[in-house]
Amino acid sequence: MSDPILAVEDLRVAFDTRDGLVQAVDGVTWSVAPGRTLGIVGESGSGKTVAATTAMGLVRGARVRTSGRVLLEGEDLLAASPERLRRVRGATIAMVFQDPLSALHPLMRVGAQIAEALRSHRSGMSAADARARAIELLEHVAIPNARQRVDAYPHELSGGMRQRAMIAMALANEPRVLIADEPTTALDVTVQRQILALLRRLRDELGMAMVLITHDLGVVAETADDVAVMYAGRIVEQAPAAELFAAPQHPYTWGLLRSMPRLDAPAGAELVPIPGRPPSLVHPPSGCRFHPRCPYVRERHRSVDPALEPLAGTPEHRVACLLSEAERRAIWARLAQGAPR
């Protein structure tokens, strides 16, 4: 792949809370190149959002401990000054959030919020120009009647239009990287597809690198080029999208796939949820972090912590699992047929 524009290296983020140190992100490394989309998948509590917001420098405070590097065009954002960060955010790297109703300021008109994004990075832009550009942006994200809608308040728009407006706001300054945190979760299914299509179009138009964070494998399948699966603050499997869906290697990934409804599954096949609950991030399980919920757990897995290793044969595909590759292939072959385990 071409040189990555955003690279996260061994990122660790911990929160000092009353109940103890919460290790939300425990050594995560991923990167994304211009024009490519990285999908990050995991359940809530896996650390996927924290990693991304930390990358933006949005997670700061007396009780936060971060280590590692976040390189944007070669510059480490974690070591950057607040003023430098401010200049980069919204201009070079932008973020779209999950619930546009709560992520947009309820008391400001949508057009004004977009104009604000424009003017804070382009000193000298007049209010009239910013407003005109805001209308253009709204039209660009396919919001009908943009001239009226530019003066609307967020609660006056439908869910889909709100998300489009937020995307317009994020893209106002033509960023090189876009991080989208669950951009479709709050929307219904038909709208989801439209938004994803919009994101893909914009990515291609602007040549952006996109990081798509979601718990929905369906979204990832459609849109991502590469996928990273996160569990308990770590990446447990990482591969190009096609490879992951064809030959998933981690029991957690299998669980995710099997709990997802698929059109090509045999009729009458049941959805199989992953048993158990997400682990505590203050006192994570010993050994392999997934072992309490893994149907294939062995004694050794309770004490040995697997590292993320590339597969022999396909080095872009990495897994953190103590089962042998052969075993894993065999198990997946069975599961793909519809066997229970």
Annotate the chain with three-state secondary structure. Answer: CCCCCEEEEEEEEEEEECCEEEEEEEEEEEEECCCCEEEEECCCCCCHHHHHHHHCCCCCCCCEEEEEEEEECCEEHHHCCHHHHHHHECCCEEEECCCHHHHCCCCCCHHHHHHHHHHCCCCCCCHHHHHHHHHHHHHHCCCCCHHHHCCCCHHHCCHHHHHHHHHHHHCCCCCCEEEEECCCCCCCHHHHHHHHHHHHHHHHHHCCEEEEEECCHHHHHHHCCEEEEEECCEEEEEEEHHHHHHCCCCHHHHHHHHCCCCCCCCCCCCCCCCCCCCCCCCCCCCCCCCHHHCCCCCHHHHCCCCCCEECCCCCCCEECCCCCHHHHHHHHHHHHHCCCC
Smallest separation, CB 117 to other proteins (Å): 5
Query: Looking at beta carbons only, is 160 or 248 nearer to other proteins?
Result: 160
Per-residue x/- mask for other proteins, residues 202 to 221, rule CB under 8 A? Answer: --------------------
Query: Looking at beta carbons only, is 118 or 232 nearer to other proteins?
Result: 118
Smallest separation, CB 102 to other proteins (Å): 4
Q: In the set 33, 66, 86, 308, which binds other proteins (CB under 8 A)?
A: 86
Query: Looking at beta carbons only, is 123 or 337 nearer to other proteins?
Result: 123
Q: Which of residues 25-84 bind other proteins (CB under 8 A)?
A: 53, 56, 58, 62, 82
* Per CB under 8 A, 120 contacts other proteins: yes
* Per CB under 8 A, 122 contacts other proteins: no
Smallest separation, CB 157 to other proteins (Å): 12
Query: Looking at beta carbons only, is 7 or 117 nearer to other proteins?
Result: 117
* Per CB under 8 A, 296 contacts other proteins: no
Q: In the set 116, 222, 243, 305, which binds other proteins (CB under 8 A)?
A: 116
Q: In the set 44, 67, 105, 300, which binds other proteins (CB under 8 A)?
A: 105
Q: In the set 21, 33, 80, 103, which binds other proteins (CB under 8 A)?
A: 103
Q: Which residue ranges make up the site for other proteins (CB under 8 A)? A: 53, 56, 58, 62, 82, 86-91, 94-95, 97, 99, 102-108, 116-117, 120-121, 153, 155-156, 166, 169-170
